[in-house]
């Protein structure tokens, strides 16, 4: 009998079984459930179910991040309902506006840990795979059922093994690597598949860079995007929580749907062009396209190493007079560290606008909506038509280095040219 992948092992554990097979439907016990502003809808459906109390008030995390501070009356009313629900249910883990983007907060506060099954009402819940969890996005109705029962039907996915080798050249980041991979396998290349990442390039990455890989993998359709835990993972998680966790790795003879290999030794800065994330090209092919706005941040690239890299490129220079550079630290903790290290000061002196930790401009909610005919380069994760504002605007996805360089030049720029 062949061995099992990380995903199969975690899902078998969650279902109380010794073994599961790809395609099998299981009744899984959820370890942690996360919702953000859409908790207003989840709580509405939960109340309609007729259950009086959530299954476990210590296994639900709610983080307000999408429209914070509230950008209109509708959002304010929804936030109010969420706060009332939190109080009524006695939910232990609630983070109000300003604490940070849900996926960053889940990692920082130790709510997502290796070996866990974590579900969230946000597609980029795949982020926690970077520390060895099976984490995936679900809908509001599904989450209401999870809140009521702690259980969820899941189909066990097949797994794609991805080997990444080579030392990336200077200024080539994990964002460039994952954009390149998504461009190669396309937006449906991992539909309802688990992705597992291996190789010397992954081994050398910081936890921050790995989070970018698992986050952006969702744009290839991944159900989960897991990086096997190593000593870096264990050290990081132990620094974040005293809660127990289990290190789970794939068996040597695990069965993969396929194995893909990528050598990034000669990779160039990459950019995803409008209006799909898999429309990926080297930056040099679209260089010199003028931009109106640049966004540095999001749950994909709003971490300290991202802000530091951008500040290093921008330091002593000025943002182009025709460009608005909006900087969004992924959490309060990151914001404070960036202030302490002088990173924020460098960005502000250059002309950047710093906004509170949150999702605002990424989803076109507020704090940086694009007008008709405008073009943005951004370190966020999606560039669908109308994603950041007007359907007549354009969004280009790139690394923090490329975003920083472009904001100085006023046009899409290879950061190696700065």
CA 66, CA 5: separation in Å to the nearest integer? Answer: 34
The CATH-assigned architecture of domain 7-261 is: 2-Layer Sandwich (3.30)
Q: What is the DSSP letter of 284?
A: G
Q: Topology of domain 272-417, per CATH?
A: Aconitase; domain 3 (3.30.499)
- Every domain of the chain and the residues it spans: 7-261, 272-417
Regarding pTM above 0.85, the answer is yes
End-to-end Cα spacing for the chain: 55
Contacts of 231 (CB under 8 A, 6+ apart): none
User: Residues of 341-353 as b/e, b for ≥16 C-beta within 10 angstroms?
Assistant: eebbebbeebbbb
How far is 185 from 11, CA to CA, in rounded Å? 25
The confidence score (pLDDT) of residue 1 equals 82
Task: Check residue 380 and give its pLDDT.
Answer: 97
Residues of the chain with pLDDT under 70: none
The two beta strands, 270-272 and 280-282, are antiparallel
């Amino acid at each position: 009998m062949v061995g099992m992948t990380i995903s199969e092992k975690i899902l078998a554990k969650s279902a109380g079984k010794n073994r599961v097979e790809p395609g099998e439907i299981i009744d899984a016990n959820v370890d942690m459930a996360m919702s953000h502003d859409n908790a207003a809808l989840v709580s509405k459906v939960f109340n309609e179910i007729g259950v009086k109390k959530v299954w476990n008030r210590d296994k639900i995390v709610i983080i307000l991040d999408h429209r914070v501070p509230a950008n209109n009356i509708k959002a304010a009313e929804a936030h109010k309902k969420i706060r009332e629900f939190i109080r009524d249910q006695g939910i232990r883990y609630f983070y109000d506006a300003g604490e940070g983007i849900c996926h960053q907060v889940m990692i920082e506060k130790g709510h997502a840990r290796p070996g866990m099954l974590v579900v969230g009402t946000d597609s980029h819940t795949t982020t926690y795979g970077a520390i060895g969890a099976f984490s995936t996005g679900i809908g509001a109705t599904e989450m209401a059922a999870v809140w009521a029962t702690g259980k969820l039907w899941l189909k066990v996915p097949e797994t794609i093994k991805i080997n990444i080798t080579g030392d990336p050249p200077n200024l080539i980041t994990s964002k460039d690597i994952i954009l390149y991979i998504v461009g190669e396998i396309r937006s449906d290349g991992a539909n309802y598949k688990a992705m597992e990442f291996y190789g010397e390039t992954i081994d050398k990455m910081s936890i921050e860079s790995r989070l970018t890989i698992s986050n952006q993998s969702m744009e290839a359709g991944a159900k989960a995007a897991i990086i096997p835990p190593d000593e870096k993972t264990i050290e990081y998680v132990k620094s974040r929580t005293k809660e127990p966790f289990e290190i789970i790795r794939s068996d040597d003879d695990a069965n993969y749907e396929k194995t893909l290999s990528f050598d990034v030794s000669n990779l160039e800065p990459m950019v995803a062009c409008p209006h799909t994330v898999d429309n990926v090209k080297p930056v040099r092919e679209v260089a010199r396209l003028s931009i109106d706005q640049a966004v540095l941040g999001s749950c994909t690239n709003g971490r300290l190493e991202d802000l530091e890299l951008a500040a290093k490129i921008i330091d002593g220079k000025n943002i182009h007079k025709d460009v608005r550079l909006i900087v969004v630290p992924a959490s309060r903790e990151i914001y404070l560290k960036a202030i302490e290290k002088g990173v924020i000061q460098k960005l502000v002196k250059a002309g950047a606008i710093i906004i509170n930790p949150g999702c605002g401009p990424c989803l076109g909610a507020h704090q940086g909506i694009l007008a008709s005919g405008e073009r943005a380069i951004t370190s966020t994760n999606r560039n669908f038509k109308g994603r950041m504002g007007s359907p007549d605007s354009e969004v280009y996805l790139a690394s923090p280095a490329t975003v920083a360089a472009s904001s100085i030049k006023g046009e899409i720029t290879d950061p190696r040219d700065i």
